[in-house]
Amino acid sequence: MTGSRRSFLHALSIGSAGLTAGCLGSESVVQQFGSDDEADASSVPAEPQTKPGEADTLVAEHAVTDENLTYLPDEHAVQYIAMWRHTNREEVEEGEKPERKPVYETKPFDEWAETECRFVASRAAKETVIDRLDSDENGLGAGVSSAVPGYEDELVATINLQWTLDRDGTVVAEPTVTLDRVVAATPKTVEATVSLAEREHTCTVPIVVREAVMRYN
């Protein structure tokens, strides 16, 4: 599903609920959320924090056009490529080029869309945070996780403040914005709509901001 996620995220259409398009310029947003000129973004958190977003709800829509996804109307399900299976292993051992064929699986449309909505929501939230803070992407990521403290057994859309350490514990990458600023700029929720073959699914996705420390092995 990784390939399909990439393909459906590239054409994201984002709007801010309750705001007219074009009214939220970078200058006004920087004034609203402040500046990090004096912020200390170099210290690695001893106990990484997790906080929900505080800004107004966003609206994000995306029409999926991935050729590897097929809507099955009789089953109200989505067919996708789960894996690729080699079909000529013996020939490969003799030096031939590998040949493979897709192995398909299906998932109920609503279940599939609930997951995809979370990817759309996290990407929409990240792009909005970058725009509002007039920041770059260094140390700022987006994703979906089922291992967020305080949200056990939930699939959560996240904005990630990431510190990367080398094997010696030296910081090699870090955020250029503070946790509080990101939380203030991050929407509480994203109302995400995903469509495939003229079928739509909308869900309201909470957005969580979390600090994460990564270390090279």
Return the structure tokens found at 128. 């909005």
Spatial distance between the Cα atoms of 161 and 33, rounded to a whole number of angstroms: 17
Q: In whole angstroms, what is the distance from residue 69 CA to residue 115 CA? A: 14
pLDDT digits (tens, 9 = 90+) for 115-158: 999 999 999 999 999 999 987 776 889 999 988 888 878 899 99
Give the residue numbers spanning the domain of 203: 2-215
Task: Report the range of poorest mean pLDDT among 46-60, 108-122, 152-166.
Answer: 152-166
Residue-wise pLDDT for 14-25, tens only, equals: 444 433 333 333
Number of DSSP helices (H) and strands (E) in the chain, helices first: 5, 11
**pLDDT > 70: percent of the chain:** 80
pTM: 0.74
How high is the mean pLDDT of the chain?
Answer: 81
- The rounded Cα 216 to chain-centroid distance in angstroms is 22
Which range has the top average pLDDT, 9-13, 29-33, 207-211? 207-211
Give the type of residue at 103: V
Average pLDDT for residues 173-197, to the nearest whole number?
Answer: 94
Distance between CA 92 and CA 102 in Å, rounded? Answer: 18
pLDDT at 42: 52
User: Residue 66: exposed, middle, or buried by beta-carbon count in 10 A (0-12, 13-18, 19+)?
Assistant: middle
Number of domains in the chain: 1
End-to-end CA distance of the chain: 27
What are the tens digits of pLDDT across the range 195-209? 999 999 999 999 999
